[in-house]
Protein backbone atom coordinates (compact mmCIF):
# COMPACT_ATOMS: atom_id res chain seq x y z
CA UNK A 1 0.00 0.00 0.00
CA UNK A 2 1.33 3.38 -0.99
CA UNK A 3 -1.27 5.18 1.02
CA UNK A 4 -0.04 4.05 4.42
CA UNK A 5 0.53 6.80 6.94
CA UNK A 6 -0.08 10.28 5.63
CA UNK A 7 0.86 12.95 8.13
CA UNK A 8 -0.65 15.92 6.38
CA UNK A 9 -2.73 16.68 3.33
CA UNK A 10 -5.24 13.98 4.22
CA UNK A 11 -7.99 15.54 2.12
CA UNK A 12 -7.83 18.82 0.32
CA UNK A 13 -10.10 20.50 -2.19
CA UNK A 14 -8.92 23.22 -4.51
CA UNK A 15 -11.27 25.35 -6.53
CA UNK A 16 -13.97 22.69 -6.69
CA UNK A 17 -17.06 23.73 -8.62
CA UNK A 18 -20.05 21.88 -9.98
CA UNK A 19 -22.74 22.94 -12.36
CA UNK A 20 -25.50 20.97 -14.02
CA UNK A 21 -27.93 22.07 -16.74
CA UNK A 22 -26.46 25.55 -16.72
CA UNK A 23 -27.07 25.96 -12.99
CA UNK A 24 -24.09 26.48 -10.72
CA UNK A 25 -24.42 24.36 -7.61
CA UNK A 26 -20.94 24.74 -6.15
CA UNK A 27 -18.18 27.15 -6.96
CA UNK A 28 -14.63 27.84 -5.84
CA UNK A 29 -14.47 25.55 -2.85
CA UNK A 30 -11.07 25.31 -1.20
CA UNK A 31 -10.64 23.43 2.03
CA UNK A 32 -8.51 21.01 3.96
CA UNK A 33 -9.83 18.35 6.25
CA UNK A 34 -7.57 16.87 8.86
CA UNK A 35 -7.40 13.20 9.60
CA UNK A 36 -9.05 11.81 12.69
CA UNK A 37 -11.75 14.41 13.08
CA UNK A 38 -15.51 14.32 12.81
CA UNK A 39 -16.50 16.97 10.37
CA UNK A 40 -20.08 18.12 9.81
CA UNK A 41 -21.38 19.78 6.64
CA UNK A 42 -24.37 22.00 7.34
CA UNK A 43 -26.38 24.52 5.40
CA UNK A 44 -29.89 25.27 4.21
CA UNK A 45 -31.63 23.20 1.53
CA UNK A 46 -30.07 23.64 -1.88
CA UNK A 47 -26.78 24.94 -0.46
CA UNK A 48 -24.90 22.16 -2.25
CA UNK A 49 -23.79 20.18 0.78
CA UNK A 50 -24.91 16.81 -0.58
CA UNK A 51 -23.27 17.51 -3.94
CA UNK A 52 -20.03 18.48 -2.22
CA UNK A 53 -20.15 15.26 -0.22
CA UNK A 54 -20.69 13.23 -3.39
CA UNK A 55 -17.72 14.91 -5.04
CA UNK A 56 -15.52 14.15 -2.02
CA UNK A 57 -16.74 10.56 -2.07
CA UNK A 58 -15.86 10.24 -5.77
CA UNK A 59 -19.51 9.60 -6.64
CA UNK A 60 -19.71 12.64 -8.88
CA UNK A 61 -16.87 14.26 -10.77
CA UNK A 62 -16.49 18.03 -10.17
CA UNK A 63 -16.88 20.21 -13.25
CA UNK A 64 -13.96 22.34 -12.17
CA UNK A 65 -11.13 22.11 -9.64
CA UNK A 66 -9.87 18.92 -8.07
CA UNK A 67 -9.98 16.88 -4.90
CA UNK A 68 -6.83 15.36 -3.47
CA UNK A 69 -6.87 12.41 -1.12
CA UNK A 70 -3.41 11.85 0.42
CA UNK A 71 -2.06 14.20 -2.18
CA UNK A 72 -3.40 12.17 -5.11
CA UNK A 73 -6.01 13.55 -7.45
CA UNK A 74 -9.38 11.74 -7.54
CA UNK A 75 -8.79 10.71 -11.11
CA UNK A 76 -5.64 8.83 -10.14
CA UNK A 77 -7.46 6.49 -7.78
CA UNK A 78 -8.84 3.20 -8.98
CA UNK A 79 -12.33 2.36 -7.75
CA UNK A 80 -11.24 -0.39 -5.39
CA UNK A 81 -8.16 1.35 -4.01
CA UNK A 82 -10.32 4.34 -3.21
CA UNK A 83 -12.97 2.18 -1.55
CA UNK A 84 -10.31 0.74 0.76
CA UNK A 85 -9.62 4.26 2.02
CA UNK A 86 -13.05 5.85 1.91
CA UNK A 87 -16.44 4.33 2.70
CA UNK A 88 -19.59 6.10 1.59
CA UNK A 89 -23.21 5.77 2.68
CA UNK A 90 -25.85 7.40 0.46
CA UNK A 91 -28.72 9.39 1.90
CA UNK A 92 -31.27 6.76 0.95
CA UNK A 93 -29.91 3.33 1.63
CA UNK A 94 -31.43 0.86 -0.81
CA UNK A 95 -33.61 -1.97 0.47
CA UNK A 96 -31.34 -4.98 0.72
CA UNK A 97 -34.02 -7.43 -0.37
CA UNK A 98 -33.71 -10.71 1.42
CA UNK A 99 -30.15 -10.15 2.69
CA UNK A 100 -29.14 -10.84 6.25
CA UNK A 101 -27.12 -8.33 8.24
CA UNK A 102 -24.03 -10.54 8.00
CA UNK A 103 -24.34 -10.81 4.21
CA UNK A 104 -24.71 -7.06 3.88
CA UNK A 105 -21.71 -6.40 6.10
CA UNK A 106 -19.69 -8.94 4.12
CA UNK A 107 -20.26 -6.88 0.97
CA UNK A 108 -18.02 -4.29 2.61
CA UNK A 109 -15.10 -6.61 1.97
CA UNK A 110 -15.49 -6.29 -1.80
CA UNK A 111 -12.80 -3.60 -2.17
CA UNK A 112 -10.34 -6.01 -0.55
CA UNK A 113 -11.10 -9.35 -2.17
CA UNK A 114 -12.52 -8.06 -5.44
CA UNK A 115 -14.56 -10.02 -7.94
CA UNK A 116 -12.76 -13.33 -7.85
CA UNK A 117 -10.56 -13.19 -4.73
CA UNK A 118 -11.04 -15.61 -1.86
CA UNK A 119 -13.17 -14.56 1.10
CA UNK A 120 -10.51 -15.48 3.66
CA UNK A 121 -9.93 -15.46 7.38
CA UNK A 122 -9.04 -11.77 7.46
CA UNK A 123 -12.29 -10.90 5.73
CA UNK A 124 -14.32 -13.05 8.07
CA UNK A 125 -12.67 -11.50 11.11
CA UNK A 126 -13.27 -7.99 9.79
CA UNK A 127 -16.96 -8.76 9.26
CA UNK A 128 -17.41 -10.18 12.76
CA UNK A 129 -15.53 -7.28 14.33
CA UNK A 130 -17.66 -4.76 12.45
CA UNK A 131 -20.84 -6.50 13.62
CA UNK A 132 -19.61 -6.55 17.23
CA UNK A 133 -18.60 -2.93 17.20
CA UNK A 134 -21.94 -1.77 15.83
CA UNK A 135 -23.78 -3.72 18.51
CA UNK A 136 -25.47 -5.94 15.97
CA UNK A 137 -24.35 -9.33 17.27
CA UNK A 138 -27.88 -10.38 18.15
CA UNK A 139 -29.18 -9.23 14.75
CA UNK A 140 -26.47 -10.78 12.60
CA UNK A 141 -28.75 -13.37 11.02
CA UNK A 142 -31.83 -11.18 10.87
CA UNK A 143 -32.95 -9.85 7.54
CA UNK A 144 -32.08 -6.23 6.84
CA UNK A 145 -35.42 -5.42 5.24
CA UNK A 146 -37.27 -6.54 8.38
CA UNK A 147 -35.38 -4.25 10.74
CA UNK A 148 -36.36 -0.83 12.02
CA UNK A 149 -34.87 2.33 10.50
CA UNK A 150 -32.29 2.81 13.24
CA UNK A 151 -31.14 -0.81 13.18
CA UNK A 152 -30.88 -0.75 9.40
CA UNK A 153 -28.73 2.37 9.55
CA UNK A 154 -26.46 0.57 12.05
CA UNK A 155 -26.16 -2.36 9.67
CA UNK A 156 -25.01 -0.04 6.88
CA UNK A 157 -22.49 1.57 9.23
CA UNK A 158 -21.24 -1.91 10.04
CA UNK A 159 -20.79 -2.52 6.32
CA UNK A 160 -18.69 0.64 6.11
CA UNK A 161 -16.61 -0.56 9.07
CA UNK A 162 -15.98 -3.90 7.40
CA UNK A 163 -14.59 -1.92 4.52
CA UNK A 164 -11.67 -1.02 6.86
CA UNK A 165 -11.58 2.45 5.39
CA UNK A 166 -9.84 5.34 7.06
CA UNK A 167 -12.62 7.76 6.32
CA UNK A 168 -16.39 7.39 6.57
CA UNK A 169 -18.61 9.64 4.50
CA UNK A 170 -22.28 9.76 5.47
CA UNK A 171 -25.02 11.69 3.71
CA UNK A 172 -27.72 12.64 6.21
CA UNK A 173 -27.60 9.34 8.06
CA UNK A 174 -30.31 10.44 10.47
CA UNK A 175 -32.85 12.00 8.14
CA UNK A 176 -35.47 9.25 8.48
CA UNK A 177 -34.97 8.46 12.15
CA UNK A 178 -36.70 9.52 15.35
CA UNK A 179 -34.78 11.52 17.93
CA UNK A 180 -33.57 8.59 20.02
CA UNK A 181 -32.22 6.78 16.95
CA UNK A 182 -30.65 9.96 15.58
CA UNK A 183 -28.69 10.34 18.78
CA UNK A 184 -27.89 6.61 18.83
CA UNK A 185 -26.50 6.53 15.30
CA UNK A 186 -24.41 9.68 15.73
CA UNK A 187 -23.09 8.56 19.10
CA UNK A 188 -22.03 5.28 17.47
CA UNK A 189 -20.25 7.15 14.68
CA UNK A 190 -18.55 9.41 17.21
CA UNK A 191 -17.37 6.50 19.36
CA UNK A 192 -16.07 4.60 16.35
CA UNK A 193 -14.17 7.64 15.17
CA UNK A 194 -12.55 8.09 18.55
CA UNK A 195 -11.74 4.42 19.11
CA UNK A 196 -10.22 3.79 15.71
CA UNK A 197 -8.98 7.20 14.75
CA UNK A 198 -11.31 7.36 11.77
CA UNK A 199 -12.07 10.53 9.90
CA UNK A 200 -15.79 11.15 9.45
CA UNK A 201 -17.42 13.59 7.06
CA UNK A 202 -21.14 13.80 7.56
CA UNK A 203 -23.94 15.93 6.14
CA UNK A 204 -26.39 16.88 8.87
CA UNK A 205 -29.62 18.74 8.59
CA UNK A 206 -29.90 19.58 12.23
CA UNK A 207 -27.29 22.11 13.33
CA UNK A 208 -27.57 21.23 17.02
CA UNK A 209 -26.75 17.60 16.33
CA UNK A 210 -23.73 18.76 14.36
CA UNK A 211 -22.60 20.95 17.25
CA UNK A 212 -23.05 18.06 19.67
CA UNK A 213 -21.15 15.37 17.74
CA UNK A 214 -18.69 17.09 15.38
CA UNK A 215 -15.23 18.54 15.94
CA UNK A 216 -15.47 20.81 12.94
CA UNK A 217 -18.46 22.36 11.26
CA UNK A 218 -18.35 23.53 7.67
CA UNK A 219 -21.25 25.76 6.76
CA UNK A 220 -22.33 26.15 3.15
CA UNK A 221 -24.67 28.59 1.55
CA UNK A 222 -25.33 29.24 -2.13
CA UNK A 223 -22.66 26.78 -3.23
CA UNK A 224 -19.84 28.41 -1.25
CA UNK A 225 -18.19 27.72 2.06
CA UNK A 226 -19.46 30.42 4.37
CA UNK A 227 -17.67 29.46 7.54
CA UNK A 228 -15.68 26.64 8.92
CA UNK A 229 -14.40 26.04 12.41
CA UNK A 230 -15.18 24.48 15.73
CA UNK A 231 -18.82 24.42 16.86
CA UNK A 232 -18.09 27.26 19.23
CA UNK A 233 -16.76 29.42 16.39
CA UNK A 234 -19.62 28.71 14.03
CA UNK A 235 -22.48 28.75 16.50
CA UNK A 236 -22.89 32.47 16.94
CA UNK A 237 -26.01 34.51 16.33
CA UNK A 238 -24.50 36.53 13.52
CA UNK A 239 -22.98 33.61 11.63
CA UNK A 240 -26.13 31.50 12.03
CA UNK A 241 -28.16 34.38 10.61
CA UNK A 242 -25.79 34.42 7.65
CA UNK A 243 -26.04 30.69 7.11
CA UNK A 244 -29.73 30.07 7.56
CA UNK A 245 -31.20 33.50 7.01
CA UNK A 246 -33.21 33.54 10.25
CA UNK A 247 -32.56 35.15 13.60
CA UNK A 248 -31.22 32.65 16.09
CA UNK A 249 -30.01 32.70 19.63
CA UNK A 250 -27.32 30.56 21.22
CA UNK A 251 -26.84 29.27 24.76
CA UNK A 252 -24.53 26.79 26.35
CA UNK A 253 -25.62 23.24 27.04
CA UNK A 254 -25.87 22.99 30.84
CA UNK A 255 -24.01 19.65 30.98
CA UNK A 256 -21.73 19.34 27.95
CA UNK A 257 -20.83 22.97 27.56
CA UNK A 258 -21.22 22.86 23.80
CA UNK A 259 -23.33 25.56 22.14
CA UNK A 260 -27.02 25.04 21.40
CA UNK A 261 -28.99 27.32 19.15
CA UNK A 262 -32.68 28.11 18.93
CA UNK A 263 -35.01 30.17 16.77
CA UNK A 264 -35.71 33.64 18.04
Task: Give the binding site for another protein (CB under 8 A).
Answer: 57-59, 78-84, 87-90, 93-100, 103, 107-108, 110-111, 115-116, 143, 145, 163
Smallest distance from another protein to CB 160, Å: 8
Distance CA 61, CA 94 (A): 22
Cβ closer to another protein: 53 or 248? 53
Least Cα distance to 226 among 1, 69, 27, 24 occurs for: 27
Cβ closer to another protein: 138 or 257? 138
Query: Beta-carbon neighbour count of residue 65 at 10 Å?
Result: 17
Strands 216-221 and 38-42: parallel
Smallest distance from another protein to CB 144, Å: 11
Smallest distance from another protein to CB 238, Å: 37
Cβ closer to another protein: 68 or 110? 110
Query: Beta-carbon neighbour count of residue 255 at 10 Å?
Result: 6
Cβ closer to another protein: 83 or 202? 83
Q: Among the residues of the chain, which ranges form H helices?
A: 49-56, 79-85, 101-107, 110-113, 121-133, 149-162, 179-196, 207-213, 231-234, 237-244
Smallest distance from another protein to CB 128, Å: 18
Cβ closer to another protein: 49 or 212? 49
DSSP helix/strand/coil, 187: helix
Smallest distance from another protein to CB 116, Å: 6
Residue 165: which region, alpha, beta or left (left: phi > 0; alpha: psi -120 to 50)?
A: beta
Amino acid sequence: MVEQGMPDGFLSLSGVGFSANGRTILSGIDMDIQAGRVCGLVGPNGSGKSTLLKIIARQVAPTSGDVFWSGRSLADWSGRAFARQVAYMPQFTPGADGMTVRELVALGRFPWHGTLGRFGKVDRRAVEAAIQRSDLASFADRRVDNMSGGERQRAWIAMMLAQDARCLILDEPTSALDLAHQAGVLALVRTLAEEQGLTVIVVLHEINLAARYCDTIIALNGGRVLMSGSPREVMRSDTLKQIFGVDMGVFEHPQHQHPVCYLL
